[in-house]
Chains A and B, each alone.
Chain A
Amino acid sequence: MIKDLVSALDYSECAISALVLFVGSFAVVLFGALRLSRQATNRFASIPLTDSVEDPRDGQ
């Protein structure tokens, strides 16, 4: 059945679908990342700077 389904496809559409899929995902990640608060990113970025457990460590 999968074979029939795939045979019926115009496989050049695979390439177009791939691009659409990527562009969509990229737009979402980009938009979301840009909306991250500076406070959160600063805290995440400082995690490797110390080997000790620091407070607050439960932050989102």
Chain B
Amino acid sequence: MSTSGTISPQTGGHGHAVGEMESFSYDDSIVRMFVTATILWAVVGTAAGLLVALLLVLPSLVDGLPWLSFGRLRPLHTNAAIFAFAGNAIFAAVYYSTQRLCKTRMWSDLLGRLHFWGWQAIIVSAAVTLPLGITQSKEYAELEWPIDIAIAVVWLVIFGGNFLMTLLNRRERHMYVALWFYIATIVTVALLHVLNNLVIPFGGLESYSIYAGVQDAFMQWWYGHNAVAFFLTTPFLGLMYYFLPKAAERPVFSYKLSIIHFWSLVFIYIWAGPHHLHYTSLPEWASTLGMLFSLMLWMPSWGGMINGLLTLRGAWHKVAADPILKFYVVAITFYGMSTFEGPMLSIKSVNALSHYTDWTIAHVHSGALGWNGFMAFGMLYWLLPRLYQTKLWSNRLMSLHFWVGTIGILLYIIPIYAAGLMQGLMWRAIDENGQLMYPDFVETTQSIVPLWWLRILGGGLYVAGVVMLGVNSVMTWLSRPAKYEVPVYTAPRLTITYEDHSPAPTSTLEGMPVLGFGVFVDKWLQLLWHRRWERLPVTFTIMVTLSVLVATLFELIPTFLIRSNIPTIATVKPYTPLELAGREIYISEGCYNCHSQQIRPMVAETKRYGEYSKPGEFVYDHPFQWGSRRIGPDLAREGDRQSSFWHWKHFEDPDSTSEGSVMPKFEHLLAQKLNFSVIPALVNTAHILGAEYEDELSDAEAIARRQAESIAADIVKQGGPAGVHEQQAIALIAYLQRMGTDYFREETPPAPSGTEAPTEETAPAEQVAMTQTAAEAQ
């Protein structure tokens, strides 16, 4: 049923004649679809988080079910929380607010439906492939190439295209600031996604990143940090700028501040990624640049927070009575906390303590649960009665959700902050004799298990709150009218050519004894050209893209082209065919979720793990496996530390070799046979990417089998079972035994006639190490 909406006059601003009157209505059915998906995936994503938290304290919970192991489920949790829950919330916000800010219906209903179903199909694909171990192993970019292509099409072509066409067909000349944030989101996420997921596929669902080692790490964390920036920050700021004024029934505190913090955020955020790689093999200059820009991010981030909180000026009495505003206030407060903590964690000395620990997990969850979760919940509760055109089923349940959720967040993050601090301090503790105080890694893990239990309590409360939202949503939907009313608005289309009747900019310098250039600059600084961009979506989009690209290229070009950033080490050779197969198992099982492969140049680390990692050691690592967290110890120098049989027993029952370990059993690797026939494809793809192979190219399978038999024979000699040479565990053991060993390998002596001085490419490992140490000491 249609009802008559507001009728606008026949003239536009300033009395210009405009086009013929047109009738239109807003498409709220697509918003209802995204709202439903948001709530559904909120339940799934947070419940998956609760399950992976349980697996850390009860690692034997899913024994015999490898597809439910921590390494495979953690990416499922992060993807569900980010791309399913937050993603659908973003789309609901964009589809609702864009139509109203542009005073027009979305350009294409069909594209809207294709977007919805395409995105849900992508999420379901992720939910199927990740537990099956089909992953790229890049955090928040785990999905394999066919799904990545689908994401690019659905995000950029379908969603982006529909959004841009809606902007072009709008009836409001000025593009409100929320739309700027949406533009930045769409453009930058597309750029990040495409550049970080450039791969060479092999087989149907697998691939190698075209980047290796240091460059892959750099690209991944350029993506990873900006996924936080442009998927979890800018669209939610856009959401805040629309829904907070609506809920508070007052305009945003300062439009000027929104302009300043928008451009500052867009420009600064893109540089900050390298702070995820402090003290790693990344070049020092990139790391420092990342830290500096991360610190600068504090200003624009708090600009957004201040603008949000001060929008409630004079309306704080409403906050006390309205749970929706309470959700917003807590969300914005958590945004302020997280965006203060983020820059602080990017300071190298702080990062040296916090990196790889649970501190990062607490930081992430204060942002995700507090900022993203509560902003989304506030929006959903505001939308539900409007979309279903009835009263919210229970305001008391909404209020209960707020309190249970808030307490849940605090019970989650406080113990995990404590756990992170304990880990960091225990890992670096040195006694009076200069030895590690806690040399047994398991001891440091066991000491935080009680805090992990508390986290489960907090997480459980948060999930309970989400379930309350689901119940409230379903009950509200059940009381909807038989047919929704669809208000019809009437307004003329904007004229294609806009005649700006405002006076031309004047300068106070005109007529004064200054150069003409001075007058020009004075007029230019009045930013009337920016007012013009704000009316021109294509120009605005190009400017945002340029801001992001310029910053990106400043970091990418030197990192990729300057040879001295990654000194070659002559003794570092490509992986053998069997090791490549083992590496695939390592990736597939998600080992990187718990083990890093990067030893930082710190006394406590070199004492615990061995020589610190060098950039040249990772030139064949497609993709890199440095990890970001140490639930288990670093594995960068794992090769030759333990016997092959020790590893076999460790997979069978980690507790038997490392008492108190929280690692799950990997018995299926001992039982399942390795598919040797896929190894040639791995070798060929690695060769395309630069690995120097000869016989391996024609005889990969046989070479792999010979190495497997050799390792199996070692296991028998060490007291292990016989006849295991075809098992998957053997390939993984081959890879583990290779880790970090090339650096110490003796280079084959040169031919007798060789009198040339060693070059950088042919220098023995020791010499390269000395050069690097000297450079770092400067």
| Chain A residues with a Cβ under 8 A of chain B | 2-3, 6-7, 9, 11-12, 14-15, 17-19, 21-22, 25-26, 28-36, 40-49, 51-60
Whether A31 lies near B296 (C-beta < 8 A) is no
Residues in chain A near residue B561, CB distance under 8 A: 2-3, 6-7
The minimal Cβ–Cβ distance linking A17 to chain B, given in whole angstroms, is 7
Bound Cα distance A17, B557 (Å):
14
Whether A22 lies near B101 (C-beta < 8 A) is no
The minimal Cβ–Cβ distance linking B395 to chain A, given in whole angstroms, is 23
Q: A22-B268, A52-B8, A58-B13 are in contact. Are A46 and B263 (CB under 8 A)?
A: no
The minimal Cβ–Cβ distance linking B761 to chain A, given in whole angstroms, is 16
Residues 223 to 259 of chain B near chain A (Cβ within 8 Å): 241-242, 245-246, 249-252, 254-257, 259
Say yes or no: is B26 at the interface (Cβ < 8 Å to chain A): yes
Instruction: Report whether over half of chain B's contact residues are helix, strand or loop; otherwise say mixed.
Output: helix
Q: Smallest CB-CB separation from B558: which chain A residue? A: A11
Residues in chain B near residue A45, CB distance under 8 A: 245, 251-252, 255
Bound Cα distance A35, B524 (Å):
12
Residues in chain B near residue A54, CB distance under 8 A: 8
Residues in chain B near residue A34, CB distance under 8 A: 256
Residues in chain B near residue A18, CB distance under 8 A: 271, 289, 293, 551, 554
Residues in chain B near residue A56, CB distance under 8 A: 12-14
The list of the 8 closest CB pairs from A to B, nearest first, reads A32-B527, A56-B13, A58-B13, A52-B6, A58-B12, A45-B251, A53-B491, A41-B255
Whether A14 lies near B263 (C-beta < 8 A) is no
Whether A33 lies near B245 (C-beta < 8 A) is no
Say yes or no: is B538 at the interface (Cβ < 8 Å to chain A): no
Whether A59 lies near B13 (C-beta < 8 A) is yes
Say yes or no: is B450 at the interface (Cβ < 8 Å to chain A): no
Whether B489 lies near A53 (C-beta < 8 A) is yes
Residues in chain A near residue B526, CB distance under 8 A: 32, 35
Cross-interface CB contact of A44 among B255, B527, B532, cutoff 8 Å:
B255
Residues 250 to 287 of chain B near chain A (Cβ within 8 Å): 250-252, 254-257, 259-260, 263-264, 267-268, 271, 285
Cross-interface CB contact of B8 among A9, A21, A53, A60, cutoff 8 Å:
A53
Residues in chain A near residue B14, CB distance under 8 A: 56, 58-59
Bound Cα distance A29, B259 (Å):
8
| 11 further interface pairs, Cβ-Cβ under 8 Å (given A32-B527, A49-B251, A52-B5) | A3-B561, A15-B288, A32-B526, A45-B245, A45-B252, A48-B178, A48-B241, A48-B242, A49-B250, A52-B489, A53-B6
22 contacts between A and B (CB under 8 A): A3-B561, A6-B562, A7-B562, A11-B558, A22-B268, A22-B293, A42-B255, A44-B176, A45-B252, A47-B101, A47-B172, A49-B250, A52-B103, A53-B171, A53-B489, A57-B8, A57-B103, A57-B172, A57-B173, A58-B14, A59-B14, A60-B528
Bound Cα distance A15, B562 (Å):
15
**Binding-face segment, B466-474, B494-502, B722-730, B742-750:** B494-502
Bound Cα distance A2, B498 (Å):
42
Residues 173 to 193 of chain B near chain A (Cβ within 8 Å): 173-174, 176-178
Residues in chain B near residue A25, CB distance under 8 A: 263, 267, 547
Bound Cα distance A40, B254 (Å):
12
Say yes or no: is B531 at the interface (Cβ < 8 Å to chain A): yes
Residues in chain A near residue B557, CB distance under 8 A: 2, 6
Q: Smallest CB-CB separation from B256: which chain A residue? A: A33
Bound Cα distance A28, B267 (Å):
13
Residues in chain A near residue B502, CB distance under 8 A: 60
Say yes or no: is B705 at the interface (Cβ < 8 Å to chain A): no
Residues in chain B near residue A49, CB distance under 8 A: 245-246, 249-251
Bound Cα distance A34, B526 (Å):
9
Say yes or no: is B317 at the interface (Cβ < 8 Å to chain A): no
Cross-interface CB contact of A33 among B241, B271, B527, cutoff 8 Å:
B527
Bound Cα distance A28, B521 (Å):
11
Whether A55 lies near B525 (C-beta < 8 A) is no
The minimal Cβ–Cβ distance linking B519 to chain A, given in whole angstroms, is 15
Whether B245 lies near A44 (C-beta < 8 A) is no
The minimal Cβ–Cβ distance linking A58 to chain B, given in whole angstroms, is 3
The minimal Cβ–Cβ distance linking A4 to chain B, given in whole angstroms, is 10
Bound Cα distance A40, B14 (Å):
13
| Chain B residues with a Cβ under 8 A of chain A | 5-6, 8-9, 11-14, 16, 18, 26, 97, 100-101, 103, 171-174, 176-178, 241-242, 245-246, 249-252, 254-257, 259-260, 263-264, 267-268, 271, 285, 288-289, 292-293, 296, 487, 489, 491, 494, 498, 500, 502, 525-528, 530-532, 535, 547, 550-551, 554-555, 557-558, 561-563
Q: A44-B174, A48-B241 are in contact. Are A55 and B563 (CB under 8 A)?
A: no
Bound Cα distance A58, B254 (Å):
21
Q: Smallest CB-CB separation from B8: which chain A residue? A: A53
Cross-interface CB contact of A60 among B18, B174, B289, B547, cutoff 8 Å:
B174
Cross-interface CB contact of B259 among A22, A33, A55, cutoff 8 Å:
A33
Residues in chain A near residue B100, CB distance under 8 A: 48, 51
Q: A22-B268, A25-B267, A60-B500 are in contact. Are A36 and B256 (CB under 8 A)?
A: yes
Cross-interface CB contact of A15 among B5, B285, B489, B550, cutoff 8 Å:
B285
Whether A46 lies near B251 (C-beta < 8 A) is yes
Cross-interface CB contact of B264 among A19, A21, A29, A52, cutoff 8 Å:
A29
The minimal Cβ–Cβ distance linking B562 to chain A, given in whole angstroms, is 6
The minimal Cβ–Cβ distance linking A41 to chain B, given in whole angstroms, is 4
Bound Cα distance A51, B245 (Å):
13
Residues in chain B near residue A52, CB distance under 8 A: 5-6, 8, 103, 489
Cross-interface CB contact of A28 among B293, B525, B562, cutoff 8 Å:
B525
Q: A32-B527, A48-B100 are in contact. Are A11 and B8 (CB under 8 A)?
A: no
The minimal Cβ–Cβ distance linking A42 to chain B, given in whole angstroms, is 7
Bound Cα distance A36, B489 (Å):
31
Residues in chain A near residue B268, CB distance under 8 A: 22
Residues in chain B near residue A2, CB distance under 8 A: 557, 561
Residues in chain A near residue B292, CB distance under 8 A: 15, 19
Whether A57 lies near B176 (C-beta < 8 A) is no
The minimal Cβ–Cβ distance linking B48 to chain A, given in whole angstroms, is 34
Bound Cα distance A52, B11 (Å):
15
Q: A11-B562, A18-B551, A52-B489 are in contact. Are A36 and B527 (CB under 8 A)?
A: yes
Bound Cα distance A60, B535 (Å):
8
Of A21, A26, A30, which is in contact with the most chain B CB atoms at under 10 Å from its CB?
Answer: A26
Q: Smallest CB-CB separation from A35: which chain B residue? A: B526
Residues in chain A near residue B296, CB distance under 8 A: 22
Bound Cα distance A10, B11 (Å):
59
Whether B285 lies near A12 (C-beta < 8 A) is yes
Whether B13 lies near A33 (C-beta < 8 A) is no
Bound Cα distance A45, B11 (Å):
22
Cross-interface CB contact of B558 among A14, A28, A30, A43, cutoff 8 Å:
A14
